[in-house]
Amino acid sequence: MTNKLKSVEVFIEFVAAFRCPHCEGSLKVADLKSLKCSNNHTFDFAKQGYVNLMTHPSSSHFNNKLFEARQKIIMESNLYASLHEKISKVIKEHMGVSIFPFLILDAGCGEGSHLQRILDKCMNGIMTGVGLDISKEGIVMAAKKYKDPIWLVGDLAKSPLEDQSFHVILNIFSPSNYKEFKRILVPNGLVIKVVPRSNYLKELREALFDDFEKKVYKNDDTVSLFKKHFYLSDVINLCFTKKLNKAELENLVQMSPLAWTSDQAHIDAFVNRGSSEITIDLDILIGLNK
């Protein structure tokens, strides 16, 4: 079965969870090749197995090289394995009595590796993952690599997602749209937001920047805003170090926006260490939609 046909079949099952980003009308699968609303807004399934539901062109600093490096860090170095373990445990505990369909949205999924890893850890056949990102490059890579989730190019500001259609929203190192999160979550639905703490990737920041202000990260405002929109049921702190080799350090630099404002001499000096301990220091915010 082709990626395109598989995507069509999954959409037929879950099409009620999506809406037209132009007119907010309900969608249906037409002729096994498109999504169409009652106003004839039409979105074709791509051969790679995704649907582009953008209403306007978009540009992004995130390119294929960044996404390839991120995929290698997540899937091969296992730098974020503990994060995936923690999140999957929270999701499984939240599920309680089996609900079908049980839909998990990764808002700002990039190339999809975090979502795929979390679904793998959950090991639950009734869960279906949906990855949404404004970057077409990221979604194309996700659709090529991971066959089970639904992959969408889309913008939360013009959301292609129906009211009260998702049980869990993942928001991992990505911008948020809390108004939309509240709209698309079921009552008592779960938002899991991952934000860096002060020591996150400190070795990289210290190597790339001479400016002290750029070496320090604070998430106080992010946490405060989250608490204004959702009932904060838990905050899980995850802090550890992992040694990365030279190839992994190269991928870490390539995937990080920190490198965009650093100079090449600092980058080369960091990579040429050959190996380095890297600090992961995160807060996992667990919010309930009340």
pLDDT tens, residue by residue, 258-281: 888 788 999 999 999 999 999 999
Assign 210 a pLDDT band (cuts: 50, 70, 90).
confident
For residue 29, tell me if it sits in a domain: no
For residue 3, tell me if it sits in a domain: no
Parallel, antiparallel or unpaired: strands 27-30 and 50-52: unpaired
For residue 211, tell me if it sits in a domain: yes
For residue 28, tell me if it sits in a domain: no
pLDDT digits (tens, 9 = 90+) for 69-79: 999 999 999 99
On the question of pLDDT at 155 being above 80, the answer is yes
- Domain hosting 220: range is 50-288
Nearest-angstrom CA–CA distance, 178 and 183: 8
Determine the distance from the C-alpha atom of residue 223 to the mean position of all C-alpha atoms in its chain, rounded to a whole number: 18
Residues 271, 170 contacting (CB under 8 angstroms)? no
Angle made by CA atoms 27, 140, 77, in degrees to the nearest 5: 130
Q: How many CB atoms lie within 10 A of CB 36?
A: 18
On the question of pLDDT at 27 being above 60, the answer is yes
Nearest-angstrom CA–CA distance, 288 and 187: 8
Domain count, the chain: 1
Assign 58 a pLDDT band (cuts: 50, 70, 90).
confident
Assign 57 a pLDDT band (cuts: 50, 70, 90).
confident
For residue 6, tell me if it sits in a domain: no
For residue 186, tell me if it sits in a domain: yes
CATH number at residue 179: 3.40.50.150
DSSP-derived secondary structure for 202-228 = HHHHHHH-S-HHHH----HHHHHHHHH
For residue 94, tell me if it sits in a domain: yes
For residue 41, tell me if it sits in a domain: no
Output the average pLDDT for the chain.
Answer: 93
Residue type at 194 in one-letter notation: V
Q: What secondary structure letter does DSSP report for 46?
A: P
Residues 21, 39 contacting (CB under 8 angstroms)? no
pLDDT digits (tens, 9 = 90+) for 161-179: 999 999 999 999 999 999 9
